[in-house]
Amino acid sequence: MHTARIIVHGRVQGVGYRAFVADEAERLGARGWVRNRADGTVEALVGGGTDLVEAMVAACRRGPRMAEVTRIDVLPADGEPLPEGFDHIRAMF
C-alpha cells in the first residue's frame, strides 16, 4: 500500500471539491479522507496501489468544474493510518 498526503491550493473550498475527491476515490477504490483546512486549501490522505494513488493525484490536479487549482503538493505519507473506506466529512478549522 502506498500513501500520499495531497495539499491542493487555489479556489477549492465551496465548489464541491471534497465531494469530487470522495467520488473519485470511491470509483477507484482508494482509502483515506479529504478535508478543508483553515488556510483555504484542501488536504487529502490517499492510500492504495501506486497507480491508484497517481490517478488520485491527477484527479486532484483537475478538480471539479468550478474549482481553480493553482498548485498541488504531494508528500509521502506511508505508514499513516487509513480508514477502511474514504471519508469526506472532515474539516479542520
* Catalytic annotation, residues: 18, 36
User: What is the distance of C-alpha 80 from the center of its chain?
Assistant: 15
Report helix, strand or coil for 57.
helix
Name 33's Cβ contacts closer than 8 Å, sequence gap at least 6.
44, 45, 82, 83, 86, 87, 88, 90
Report helix, strand or coil for 85.
coil
